[in-house]
Structure 1
C-alpha cells in the first residue's frame, strides 16, 4: 500500500477513536499490523492532531479560563448544563485541570524512569477492551443511581482531578484501556454524575497532556538525532486527517451523550475484543 495512503488511514482511525471511549491506541496498534509500524513520534503527533480539534471545539471555554486568570472583565463560560459560573469558580476549575495534568506528568515520568511498558501485541489489547467495557457499564450505572438519589452533580472535586490524572497514566501503560474512557468513568465514579461535565473535564485535561507528550517525544528525538529518519510528509498527512476526523467525531459525541448513555460503546468494545481473541493467533 502507498505509504501516504497508509498514513492517511492511520490518521483517520486516530481521529475517530481518540475521544470515543474505545481506545485509539488499541485501534492504531491493530491497524499497524496491516498498515506498517510507525515511530513513537508519529503516533503521539497524530494524537496531538486530534487534541487540536478539541482546542477548536472548546476555544470559548479555554478563552474563558484564560480571561478568569488574567482578570479580564469577560463573560464567564457556562458549565455543561448551561448555568452561569463566577470567575472564581472558573479559576478553581482551571487549577483542577492543572492538578490533573501535574499528576499525569509526574506519573508519566515515573513510569518512563521505571521502564514500565507492556507488549504492544493484540491479545492484551483485546482483554483490555473487554474488561474496560464492563468497567464503563458499572461506572455509569453507579453514577446514574447516585444522580437519582442526590440529583445531577456537575462539580469536579479536587479528589476527582487527582484520580483523573492517575487514570491518564494507567491508560498510557495499558494499551486498549482508552484514555478518554478511563478519565470519563473515573470522574463519574468519583462523584460527578453528569456525563457532560465528566466528558468536558476529560477532554480539556487531555489538551496539555497530549501536547506535552508530543513535545517530550520531539525533544527526545532531537537529543538522539532521530528526527532525520522521520517521514514528515506522511506525518503531516496523518496529522491533518486526525484533526479533521477528530473534530467531527467529538462534535458528534457531545451531541450523542446529551440523550444517550455509553452502553453502545461498551458493546462495541466487547464485540471487538472477542473478535480479536477468536480470529488472531495467540502470539499476535
Structure 2
C-alpha cells in the first residue's frame, strides 16, 4: 500500500478518534494491524499525527486559549485560567514522569488495551448513572477543586486504550461538571499534555525519520488536523443529546474486534 494512502487512512482514524471517548490508541493499533502498518515506523507516525489533532484543538479553541494567558479575559468574576490547567495537568504529568518506562513496558500491549477498553466503558456508564446535577455549566464555572479531580481521572489515560476524553469527561460528570463543559475542558487540557508527550516521543524517535517518510507523515498530519476539527465540533453537539453510554457500548464492541483480529 502506498505511503500516502496509509497516511490518509491512519490520519482519518486518528482525527476521528483522538477526542472521542473511544480510544484512539485502540483504533490505531487495530487499523494498523489490518493494513500491515506496524513497528517502530508506525509508532513514530502516531506521534506525528497526534500533533495534527492537537493543532485542530488550537484552531477551534484559539480564543479560549488566548484568555488563559490574560488576553481578552474578563476583568471581574471567576474565569478559567492557567491555574485550572496546571491543576488538571499535575496528577498525570507527575505519574507519567515517574512511571513512564513501566507504563511503556507493561501496559502497551494487546491484552492491557482490551482490558482498558472495557474498563473505560464501565467507568463511563457508572459516571452517567451516578452523576448529579451540574454546578459547572460553562468553563468559567469550573472550580480549582473540580479541575484537580478531573486531572486525577486523566491519570487513567496513561493506560493505553482507556481514552483521555473518556476518563476526563466521566470524571467531570462525577465532579458535577456538565457533559459539554467537561469535554471542552478535556480538549483544552489536552493541548499542553499532548504537546509535551508527543514532543518527547518525537525527540526520542528522531533518528528513525527520513526524507522518504515525508509523504506518509505530511498526509497523516494534514488529514488528522482536518478530520479532528470536524470531529471536535460534531462531538460537542452530539454529546448534548446522546451522552456517554452509546460510546461505552461501542468500546465493548471494539474490544471484541480487537481481541479477534489482533490477539487471536
Shorter-chain TM-score: which interval?
A: 0.7 to 0.9
- The alignment yields a C-alpha RMSD, in angstroms, of 2.4
Residue 170 of structure 1: aligned partner: 156
What whole-Å deviation, never above 9, does each CA across 1:190-232 have from its counterpart, x for those lacking one? 332x11111111110001111111221233235xx44448823
1:111 aligns with 99
Q: Could you report, residue by residue, the CA deviation over 1:142-193 in whole angstroms, capped at 9, with x for unpaired residues? A: 11xx21xxx5433433333233334333312x2211111011111221332x
Please tell me whether residue 89 in structure 1 is matched to residue 82 in structure 2. Answer: no
- 2:137 aligned with 1:156: no
Match of 1:231, SS state, is: helix
Gaps of 5+ in 1: 77-85
Q: CA deviation at 1:108?
A: 1.5
Largest Rg, 1 or 2:
1
Moved more, 30-39 or 12-21: 30-39
For residues 21 and 115 of structure 1, the distance between their equivalents in structure 2, rounded to whole angstroms, comes to 21
Structure 2: how far apart are the matches of 1:138 and 1:247?
Answer: 29
Question: Does the 8 Å contact 2:30/2:258 carry over to 1?
Answer: no
- Could you tell me how far 1:126 is from its partner in structure 2? 2.6
- 1:40/1:217 contact within 8 Å kept: no
1:99 matches 2:82? no
The CA deviation string for residues 83-103 of structure 1, in whole angstroms up to 9 with x for no partner, is xxx55522x532111222233
- For residues 117 and 156 of structure 1, do their structure 2 counterparts lie closer, same or farther at Cα, with a shift above 3 Å needed? farther
- Partner of 2:2 in structure 1? 2
How far apart in 2 are the matches of 1:207 and 1:121? 25
Q: What's the counterpart of residue 280 of structure 1?
A: 261
- Write out aligned runs for 1:13-52 (5 A): 13-35=13-35, 36-37=37-38, 38-52=41-55
Aligned to 1:60: 63
Q: Which SS does the other structure have where 1:19 is aligned?
A: coil
Correspondence 1:257-272 to 2 at 5 A: 257-272=239-254
Equivalent residues of 2:3, 2:215 under 8 A apart: no
Q: State the TM-score, normalizing by the size of structure 1.
A: 0.81
The within-5 A match list for 1:237-256 is 237-256=219-238
CA distance in 2, matches of 1:196, 1:269: 20
When residues 33 and 121 of structure 1 are mapped into structure 2, their CA distance, relative to the original with a 3 A threshold, is: farther
Instruction: Return the TM-score normalized by structure 2.
Output: 0.87
Gaps of 5+ in 2: none
